[in-house]
A and B are shown apart, each in its own frame.
Chain A
Amino acid sequence: MWFWALAVWFGPTTAATTGFAVECDGNQAMIAYDAPSFSSFNYDSGAVLLAGGGSERSQRPDVHFTRFAKFLAAEGTAPNLMYHYTTASESSFANGLWEGSSVTDKLYTDAAQASQELGIPVSNKVIPIQNTGQFIPNAPSTVQRSFRFTGGGSDFINPQAVPPSQLFPAQPIGPH
């Protein structure tokens, strides 16, 4: 399962966390691997993880990405992540995740599917969040049906705000 996720994020030829390189050019981070490189995430000047305050503010995207990679490596085959899907600007998460936000435990690669199952507008990014037990199942624990959305996705909520240090760089997603 997680190798699939790595393949989605880091490219089909790179399953190991050491198999990619990160270059920073201004505000844009490029992830390169054996296949042609692609832009994985972009930071505006108020980037989510760079504007978190304190020591976070001084870190560059590659630092965060390295931290993310190390985290994945340390987690082995089953990283404990939750996911927040959004269209909000990354700067909206500079202070972390608001109390009472909805997250799910599934990494979707199709924004349209995520929209249907989570009952939200079609997202353009997903924010991985380190799961430290700060999320509890919502009540109900799966998204309910509405006329517009099928629902059915797992729904978790954070009773307390999540600090920015537990958020990883946003990853772009789009409809297939």
Chain B
Amino acid sequence: MNEADFAALNEHLEEVRPIFDAFCARHGLVYVNRKSLGRYPRIRIERPGEPTIWFDLWMEFNKDGQRFEQFRRDLPYELSAGASLVVQDGSKNGIRFDKCFQCFSGKPFDQVGAVLQGEMEKHLPTLEGWDAQYLKNNGEKVQLGT
């Protein structure tokens, strides 16, 4: 694939972007830097804080665990949600406590627009209920960087 192929593979995401725009405006989330998400179709929004809460919509991989290269409207999408807390522990990048869950998976892109807003609205209160101590107690601990 070349860069134009990746751009073409991402075009369909414009169909759901207004849903994210409205949700972000309503609840104070922002788009995550697209360059940190790779070239594969994906939208991630977050509300920075302690913890940072996020929603992540991405095109899933094929049955071999590799990327799809051409868009079809029946390709599967996953929406996940979670919260992250970075704690400085004296290491270069610190450690991160993460907790997340799937909102849906394997959903054909054609059906994503119909359920996206409802899923995010449904799960936002759960994320907002997780504070820093909850994540330290219940989150997965990841050493950041090398």
Contact = CB atoms under 8 A, between A and B. Distances in A.
Contact of B80 (A92, A146, A157): A146
Given A98-B3, A105-B146, A157-B35, A152 B96 contact: yes
Contact of B36 (A92, A150, A155): A155
Nearest to A154: B145
Interface residues of B, number: 32
Contacts, number: 76
A176 B54 CA distance: 32
A55 B140 CA distance: 50
Interface string B46-71: 00000000101010010001110000
Most B CB within 10 A of own CB, among A147, A153, A157: A147
Interface string A139-153: 111111111101111
A119 B38 contact: yes
B1 A88 contact: yes
Instruction: Determine chain A's interface SS by DSSP, over half rule.
Output: loop
Contact of B96 (A105, A106, A145): A145
A120 interface: yes
B44 to A, nearest CB: 7
A66 B97 CA distance: 44
B78 interface: yes
B125 to A, nearest CB: 19
A141 B3 contact: no
A120 B32 CA distance: 17
Nearest to A104: B146
Interface residues of A, number: 31
B145 A100 contact: no
Contacts of A104: 146
Contacts of B142: 145, 150-152
The 7 closest A-B CB pairs, nearest first, are A147-B80, A145-B98, A152-B142, A106-B146, A142-B144, A154-B145, A138-B36
Interface of B: 1, 3, 32-33, 35-36, 38, 44, 54, 56, 58, 61, 65-67, 78, 80, 82, 84, 93, 96, 98, 100-102, 105, 140, 142-146
14 contacts: A142-B145, A144-B54, A145-B82, A145-B84, A145-B96, A146-B80, A147-B56, A150-B140, A151-B98, A151-B142, A152-B142, A154-B93, A155-B36, A157-B35
